[in-house]
Amino acid sequence: MLQSELNKIRDDILSISGVNPRKCMCCGKCSGTCPSYDEMEYHPHEFVHMVETGDIEALLSTKSIYKCLSCFACIERCPRQVEPAKLVEAVRMVVERQRGPQHLEAENVPEQLDDDMPQQAVVSAFRKYRK
Amino acid sequence: MQRIGVFVCHCGTNIAGTVDVKAVADALGKENGVVYSTDYTYMCSASGQQLISDAIKEKNLTGVVVCSCSPRMHEKTFRTCAERAGINPYMLEIANIREQDSWICKDMPTATEKAIALGKAAVAKVTLNTPLTAGEAPVTKRALVIGGGIAGIQTALDIAEAGFPVDIVETKPTIGGKMAQLDKTFPTLDCAACILTPRMVECGQNDNIRILSYSDVTDIKGFVGNFTVTIKRKARYVDETKCTGCGECTEKCPQKAVPNEFNLGLNNRRAIYIPFAQAVPKIATIDPNYCMKLKSGKCGVCSMVCQAKAIDYNAKDIYIEEKYGAIIAATGYNPIDLSKFDEFAYSQSKDVVSSLEFERLMNAAGPTGGALLRPSDGKPPKTIVFVQCVGSRCSADAVKGHEYCSKICCMYTAKHAILTRDHYPDTDCYVFYIDVRTPGKNFDEFYRRAVEQYGVHYIKGMVGKVTPQGDGTLDVQGSDLIMDKQVHIKADMVVLAASIEADKTARPLATMLTASMDTNDFFTEAHPKLRPVESPTAGVYLSGCCQGPKDIPDTVAQASAAAAKVIGLLVKDKLRNNPCVAESNEEMCNGCSQCENVCPYGAITYIEKDFRGPNRTTITRRVAQVNPAVCQGCGACTVTCPSGAMDLKGFTNKEIMAEVDAICR
């Protein structure tokens, strides 16, 4: 991706989330509190640091954005009101927007299914991503 | 007609770099009344002052305008210079063309124009100035120290040793403060009580010191050199003059379930109590919230066992009024309320304690007799986790916690870990830290000893959550940022380094003193670098943590510095007043009392006065009178007065309007 594109995406992430990553004092309380920590490749404090340093491409391709439970424990406990979960959510939104509204193909569904997934989720996914 | 001299300072390039000083001197030289105008590189230097002094004499100047830095910097310098040259110091005015002009303006034409405007305003004011003479007021040679912790104790001892009487007002039954609760002190590890209690005894024995314990300051009036303070002596229900401190009553009292505040509620005391063995004064106090005799009338055991007949159940709060020349605030600090940080389970588990509670658990006079035991089951802990920065270093918009670093936590946590590992080598200590801050003599060496010699595990990261487990342990979940992983530690105890905050009594005290505070309720110093132990309010001094977080050596240093300042005030027999005080024009005063209501110093009174009316009649009118010894020249009355009768000398309405006119011309 071009640097100019990455800069644009970084600006989008910042404006969607309203987060100022420079407020972070690198205490690690967000990652210390995260219940989904072991599932994630990049952890809440790394999201903050990577957005600040412009390491955007890695974030766009990580599965971590779908592992965040949006429990907001990191937002609740951050001593400096950095709100890492809002950044994760913003990255997720940027990725989804890039994929467009038509990205769910019926033939790709079976491989994504697992035993625990409720039927309702598949139906909702079609409503949302196949218009 | 005034003969005014104008002196424009270059301040090196501070002013001359942005302002065309020659043009300013030329323009102001053409103003009405200006007979001499010049510029010079450093007006505040000896040769600069000589220039002003010579001009005053040679040109017979009656007024002087110096265009230079803020009057906060050199007004005093130049006024003293003018006085030496033979004119009244209040005939000199400063036009601030540095802070208000050259430092904030970018281009030279604008800055020069503004400098000329400011200079013209100053010339206009000097034209109307009249000589003012300062009066004098006597100094009450006695000091009041509010707070009897180590700060108050040190200040009081130093003042007393210089020969001046001091009163210490302490809200608790004994002096000693937080230091009396500490076990050891960093980085020397000497016993806090062993070094503090001799000082407390000295206070009790010094003839110049009077300890008013179990008392609160309720009202403060007056001004530097002449404060009148009302002190509430709370009812102790024990006669201080009779009680011998034998402690018999505190052993016989049947009410045993009173949380012991000295041990932070970790054990109980009786309803009649002496806080600790070395208390000064060693006098029993009855806690009216728990005493059964006071609550229901049934009991009276203490009265029966007291040999000295000191118990008096009918005692009442007494208010006394005293006069002081200086007041020292030494109200200290408290740990932040940890129930706000319940992710650390402070209110869910007894084994999650604050650092101050940990001090009591380590202390030989504490609830466990010095054995480190878990508060929940009394078993020795095998793993202890210390969490740093709880409530410190939070952002300004955070819903809880303080923005500042509490300064002492890194060091006392290292101390706790060292002592634990020294006494119980098989107990593991983990410290979660964001940064380890150890600026101070032998401080970093001490922290390194904790790591290298005592094997304390320092983990860079913060604890996110503490969860009490069914087996009585605590699951501590936090980040290890260096290993880039989330760690879980099965701990027996968790110690929270609670942020320290200003005592709750500090804010109302500041209101009484008309002393300024910052947003964290710490007292503001008169100048952060050059006047660190004085409040901007004259006669009020600051000692210890009421001014900001600090450790014991810093507190003692500040306490002694405050004492030195107080002694410097008390040795004077008279104080020169500020002559810029309010003055009431009796002919114009309509007796409305508004000025009396707004005056923060109580300087205005109303009197009935006879005036000559038409046809030889006499009219009696109610008019305002200002006591110039009490007035501090704040000017509140002059803007409140609806009839324009109040005026402030040195800043009269006419003078200020002339300045405005000069700028608008």
Rounded Cα gap, residues B173 and B74, in angstroms: 47
Nearest chain A Cα distance for residue B457, angstroms: 17
Answer whether B168 touches A (CB < 8 Å).
no
Distant-in-sequence, close-in-space partners of A64: CB < 8 Å, separation ≥ 6 = A39, A40, A41, A42, A43, A47, A88
Write down the pLDDT at residue A122: 85
| B215-223 sheet: strands from edge to edge | B215-223, B226-233, B318-324
Per CB-CB distance under 8 Å, the chain A contacts of B397 are 81
Per CB-CB distance under 8 Å, the chain B contacts of A79 are 389, 393-395, 398, 401
Write down the pLDDT at residue A105: 84
Rounded Cα gap, residues B230 and B220, in angstroms: 6
Per CB-CB distance under 8 Å, the chain B contacts of A38 are 486
Using CA coordinates, name the residue in chain B closest to A37: B486
Answer whether B394 touches A (CB < 8 Å).
yes
Find the range with the poorest average confidence among A106-115, B54-63, B186-195: A106-115
In this complex, do B395 and A32 lie within 8 Å of one another by their Cβ atoms?
A: no
Of A32, A43, A81, the CB nearest to B462: A32
β pairing state of B574-576 and B136-138: antiparallel
Per CB-CB distance under 8 Å, the chain B contacts of A31 are 461, 464, 479, 481, 486
Rounded Cα gap, residues B102 and B20, in angstroms: 10
Distant-in-sequence, close-in-space partners of B550: CB < 8 Å, separation ≥ 6 = B407, B408, B544, B558
Q: Is the pLDDT of residue B578 over 90?
A: no
Q: Is the pLDDT of residue A127 over 90?
A: no
Rounded Cα gap, residues B132 and B88, in angstroms: 7
Residues of A near B (Cβ–Cβ under 8 Å) read 23, 25-34, 37-38, 43, 45, 73, 76-81
Full set of structural domains in chain B with CATH: 4-128 (3.40.50), 143-332+507-570 (3.50.50.60), 335-501 (3.50.50.60), 582-649 (3.30.70.3270)
From residue B200, alpha-carbon distances to B55, B168, B389, B460 in Å are 59, 12, 32, 40
Answer whether B189 touches A (CB < 8 Å).
no
Rounded Cα gap, residues B116 and B663, in angstroms: 9
Rounded Cα gap, residues B381 and B474, in angstroms: 11
Q: How confident is the model at residue B236 (pLDDT cuts 50, 70, 90)?
A: very high
Q: What is the mean pLDDT of chain B?
A: 95
Per CB-CB distance under 8 Å, the chain A contacts of B462 are 27-29, 32
- The single residue listed with the structure tokens 């004994």 is B174
Distant-in-sequence, close-in-space partners of B167: CB < 8 Å, separation ≥ 6 = B142, B143, B144, B145, B209, B210, B211, B212, B322, B324
In angstroms, how far is the first alpha carbon of chain B from the final one?
A: 21
Q: Which two tokens stand for residue B19?
A: 């302002």
pTM of the predicted model, to two decimals? 0.86
pLDDT per residue as tens digits for the range B63-87: 999 999 999 899 999 999 999 999 9
pLDDT per residue as tens digits for the range B451-472: 999 999 999 999 999 999 999 9
How many CB atoms are closer than 10 A to CB A93?
Answer: 15
How many CB atoms are closer than 10 A to CB B326?
Answer: 29
Answer whether B617 touches A (CB < 8 Å).
no
Provide the ipTM.
0.85
In this complex, do B479 and A23 lie within 8 Å of one another by their Cβ atoms?
A: no
Write down the pLDDT at residue B262: 96
Find the range with the poorest average confidence among A110-114, B197-201, B360-364: A110-114
Rounded Cα gap, residues B400 and A24, in angstroms: 16
Using CA coordinates, name the residue in chain A closest to B477: A32
Burial of residue B393 (number of CB atoms within 10 Å: 0-12, 13-18, 19+): buried
In this complex, do A34 and B434 lie within 8 Å of one another by their Cβ atoms?
A: no
In this complex, do B395 and A26 lie within 8 Å of one another by their Cβ atoms?
A: no
Q: How confident is the model at residue A110 (pLDDT cuts 50, 70, 90)?
A: confident
Rounded Cα gap, residues B321 and B232, in angstroms: 9
Q: Is the pLDDT of residue B134 over 90?
A: no
Contact yes or no for B325/B140 (Cβ under 8 A): yes
In angstroms, how far is the first alpha carbon of chain A from the final one?
A: 28
* Cis peptide bond upstream of A44, omega within 30: no
Per CB-CB distance under 8 Å, the chain B contacts of A43 are 479, 484, 486
Answer whether B467 touches A (CB < 8 Å).
no
Contact yes or no for B313/B304 (Cβ under 8 A): no
Interface test with B, best of A20, A30, A33 (most B CBs within 10 A): A33
Write down the pLDDT at residue A123: 87
pLDDT per residue as tens digits for the range B482-492: 999 999 999 99
How many CB atoms are closer than 10 A to CB B345?
Answer: 20
Using CA coordinates, name the residue in chain A closest to B396: A80
pLDDT per residue as tens digits for the range B472-528: 999 999 999 999 999 999 999 999 999 999 999 999 999 999 899 999 999 999 989
| Beta strand segments in B342-473, E | 352-354, 383-390, 428-433, 457-460, 463-468
Of B398, B460, B481, the CB nearest to A79: B398
Answer whether B663 touches A (CB < 8 Å).
no
How many CB atoms are closer than 10 A to CB B396?
Answer: 10
Nearest chain B Cα distance for residue A99, angstroms: 31
Rounded Cα gap, residues A8 and B190, in angstroms: 59
Of B397, B477, B479, the CB nearest to A81: B397
